[in-house]
Amino acid sequence: MATLKDVAREAGLSVGTVSRVLNNRGYISEETRNCVQEAMKRLHYEPNEMARALSKKHSTMIGVILPSISHPYFAKVLSCLERAAHARNYELLLFCSQGKSAREEEYVRVCCSNRVAGLVLCSGGVKTGKLRNLGFPVVTFERFLNDADAGVECDNYEGGALAARELIGAGCRRLLCISGEGEVSMPADARKVGFLDVCASHTDVEVQVVLCSPEHLEDLNYYPELRAFLDASPAPDGIFAGSDVIGLQTMAELSRRGLRVPQDVKIVGYDDVNLAQMTNPQLTTIHQPVREMAEECISIIVKAANNESYPARTMFHVTLEKRGTT
Amino acid sequence: MATLKDVAREAGLSVGTVSRVLNNRGYISEETRNCVQEAMKRLHYEPNEMARALSKKHSTMIGVILPSISHPYFAKVLSCLERAAHARNYELLLFCSQGKSAREEEYVRVCCSNRVAGLVLCSGGVKTGKLRNLGFPVVTFERFLNDADAGVECDNYEGGALAARELIGAGCRRLLCISGEGEVSMPADARKVGFLDVCASHTDVEVQVVLCSPEHLEDLNYYPELRAFLDASPAPDGIFAGSDVIGLQTMAELSRRGLRVPQDVKIVGYDDVNLAQMTNPQLTTIHQPVREMAEECISIIVKAANNESYPARTMFHVTLEKRGTT
């Protein structure tokens, strides 16, 4: 592989001049620039990003830690982060923690070793104190972490409230809220709170809650909890599913029991991922502006790299996407 | 951030000794090793992977180029690649080409600049000649590329044949094959060939083919082609969908038209991604052993890094996963 020295020799110029062309530093005549560029082409020279990053202390890599990749929500988050990073000439270094804190901490160390420009943390088990003084900004995505540098989230409380108003407005009175919840407190927990607060303001509305294990982010199997509830209780007439994955599985389970959606039971999901439009009826859901949230994360890391100030916490509005299940 | 020199000073040892401990080279007493490790801990020293990679010519990063990240199939592929890479202490550098060849070529260059240990290419537009002499192995995943170093795929012909036998065995006689197909020839094209070959061996079976634009890998919207066909033709009694995403959208569209699955129309999908189990009935599909295929890709790159020989082409068997749609 050709080196800077080879290019200098080929172009008949000094290494310093070639380096100035490459880094766009100081005055360089058009002729010299062309001469260097042609020599680079002839030798198939590729600047060594590792050497460059070493001299700059930071690479153009952004670390991303997700709890799951194949979950449709995190696949969408990752897709949007990649697009936003590419638009700013950054690359993603990808890690999947499967929700294990030991893995998350290991990946934070690997990010350190690779001198990333920043880290987007969508996985929430890293212990307080482990994210300080890393030498790069940590931006959490839909996660609370007191010692992260910035956090980007959506208005989960508003989302839960919108779902309750939609179901109650459609005439539902026996409501069910199905929510994935773990030991670590997360912004998404506010979906349930917003939902229950609106229900509480209606005296003729009953509401029940089913909590699902956070492990289902990995196995995507919410059927056991759903079946246990439906076996033991009379069917609700309105269901708020904490994610579209839960919403789809709820539709499938109700259909198995001969219940029609939306005639017998209405459903509102959360996230607005692609599979919300792959069933009949299509799923009414709370649209989370994942693209804008991902762009904000990348923008914060780019601002930090340029020593510009950036917001510590950014919360995006959500909207109701009305489709066939309500 | 602490350097190797700081650690040596803190431990009261030479830089050479500390480097030997870090790289596990030569004889080092237990006492010296402990002394260095404690100094590293006290100073929060993290070995600089970029400097290490520079001296070793290769990093522990593996490039991955996908045409889409949020498509459930590619999300599963990526998830399996990440898991296999992590098990071998490699990290993934992630790129999404959105099927654009110019982007793919740009990403191959970025992989070069970052001195990746290898590249897994799941996106198929890179022109012949552009993958030679990169200094690292290129492994294609379900793509043909004459100048790649290795290719991993599943037996797509067998998958198509299995689907045809399942539908014909269940009594279907008016078959439809829906297939995503682009200008670039791909291993997946053999699904259709295997399906049609089995149909041709049955004189009482009629078969039609709908070809869908490869752009739908991005927008995931196969409804226009599906509707155009169903509007113009009598409904088939058996459908082979080239992917589970197509299979789910076919189920939804048939349901909108009042057709029951599997009573009126039977469906076989392809891939066996998580959403195949999120509907009622669940989708019968061809299981593609994505986990094993991903492990093979990573294993090839690790073998190449250790100068071991590796297979040029590896083809995995597929199996029929019988569920509720047949």
- The low-confidence residues of chain A, meaning pLDDT below 70, are 1, 24-26, 47-58, 125, 128
The Cα A67–Cα A156 span in angstroms is 19
Q: Where are the alpha helices (DSSP H) in chain A?
A: 4-11, 15-23, 30-42, 49-56, 72-87, 101-113, 156-169, 189-200, 216-219, 223-232, 244-256, 290-305
- Which chain A residues contact residue B114 at CB under 8 A? 49-50, 91
Within 56-75 of A, beta carbons closer than 8 Å to B belong to 59, 61, 64, 68-72, 75
Cβ–Cβ gap A280/B253 under 8 Å = yes
Residues A133 and A255 in one domain: no
Residues A227 and A199 in one domain: yes
For A47-81, write each residue's pLDDT tens digit: 666 566 555 656 899 999 999 999 999 999 999 99
Q: Give domain status of residue B260, yes or no.
A: yes
Is A241 in contact with A270 (CB distance < 8 Å)?
A: yes
- Which chain A residues contact residue B288 at CB under 8 A? none
Per the omega criterion (within 30 degrees of 0), is the bond before A67 cis?
no
The Cα B264–Cα B266 span in angstroms is 7
Cβ–Cβ gap B70/A93 under 8 Å = no
Residues A237 and A312 in one domain: no
Q: In the block, which residue shows the tokens 């700013």?
A: A88
Extract the tokens encoding A12: 């008949």
Q: Choose between B66 and B126: higher pLDDT.
A: B66
Q: Give domain status of residue A322, yes or no.
A: no
- Which chain A residues contact residue B93 at CB under 8 A? 61, 91-94
Closest-approach residue (CA) in chain A for B249: A278
| Res B50: pLDDT | 58
Within 189-248 of B, beta carbons closer than 8 Å to A belong to 220, 245, 248
Give the DSSP H/E element, type plus range, for residue B303.
Answer: helix B290-305
Closest-approach residue (CA) in chain A for B273: A70
Q: Give domain status of residue B322, yes or no.
A: no
For A187-200, write each residue's pLDDT tens digit: 999 999 999 999 99
For B183-199, write each residue's pLDDT tens digit: 778 899 999 999 999 99
Task: Calculate how close chain A gets to B242, using CA atoms only, in Å.
Answer: 15
Q: Give domain status of residue A325, yes or no.
A: no
Assign residue A125 the CATH number of its domain: 3.40.50.2300
Q: Give domain status of residue B323, yes or no.
A: no
Assign residue B13 the CATH number of its domain: 1.10.260.40
Residues B149 and B294 in one domain: yes
Cβ–Cβ gap B278/A109 under 8 Å = no
Cβ–Cβ gap B278/A249 under 8 Å = yes
Q: Is A142 left (phi over 0), alpha (psi -120 to 50) or beta?
A: left
Residues A109 and A232 in one domain: no
Residues A42 and A140 in one domain: no
Task: Calculate how close chain A gets to B145, using CA atoms only, in Å.
Answer: 21
- Which chain B residues contact residue A78 at CB under 8 A? 69-70, 75, 78, 94
Looking at every residue in chain B, the average pLDDT score rounds to 91
Q: Longest C-alpha distance within chain B, in Å?
A: 86
CB pairs under 8 A between A and B: 154
The answer to whether residue B291 scores a pLDDT higher than 90 is: yes
> Cα dihedral sign for A265, A266, A271, A275?
positive
Cα angle for residues B157, B159, B161 (degrees, 5° grid): 70
For A272-314, write each residue's pLDDT tens digit: 999 999 999 999 999 999 999 999 999 999 999 999 999 999 9
Q: What are phi and psi of A132, to 5 degrees?
A: -90, 150
Cβ–Cβ gap B82/A95 under 8 Å = yes
Closest-approach residue (CA) in chain B for A132: B44
Extract the tokens encoding A103: 């893995």
- Which chain B residues contact residue A114 at CB under 8 A? 49-50, 91
Residues A145 and A189 in one domain: no
Task: Calculate how close chain A gets to B54, using CA atoms only, in Å.
Answer: 7
Residues B213 and B100 in one domain: no
- Which chain A residues contact residue B257 at CB under 8 A? none
Q: Give domain status of residue A52, yes or no.
A: no
Residues A167 and A282 in one domain: yes
The Cα B141–Cα B293 span in angstroms is 8
Give the DSSP H/E element, type plus range, for residue B140.
Answer: strand B138-141
Model confidence at B201, in pLDDT bands (50, 70, 90)? very high
Residue B260 CB-half CA count within 13 A: 4
Q: Give domain status of residue B102, yes or no.
A: yes
Residues B43 and B61 in one domain: no
Task: Calculate how close chain B gets to A49, using CA atoms only, in Å.
Answer: 5
Closest-approach residue (CA) in chain A for B255: A280
The Cα A259–Cα A275 span in angstroms is 21
Task: Calculate how close chain A gets to B256, using CA atoms only, in Å.
Answer: 7
Model confidence at B54, in pLDDT bands (50, 70, 90)? low
| Res B57: pLDDT | 59
What is the domain range of residue B282? 156-289
Extract the tokens encoding A70: 């194949």
| Res B53: pLDDT | 58
Helix (H, G, I), strand (E, B) or coil at A141: strand
Residues A163 and A139 in one domain: no
- Which chain B residues contact residue A83 at CB under 8 A? 96
How many domains in chain B? 3
Cβ–Cβ gap A110/B279 under 8 Å = no
Is B82 in contact with A94 (CB distance < 8 Å)?
A: yes
Instruction: Identify residue A321 by its one-letter amino acid code.
Output: E
The Cα A194–Cα A159 span in angstroms is 7
| Res A73: pLDDT | 96
Residues B168 and B257 in one domain: yes
Q: Give domain status of residue B326, yes or no.
A: no
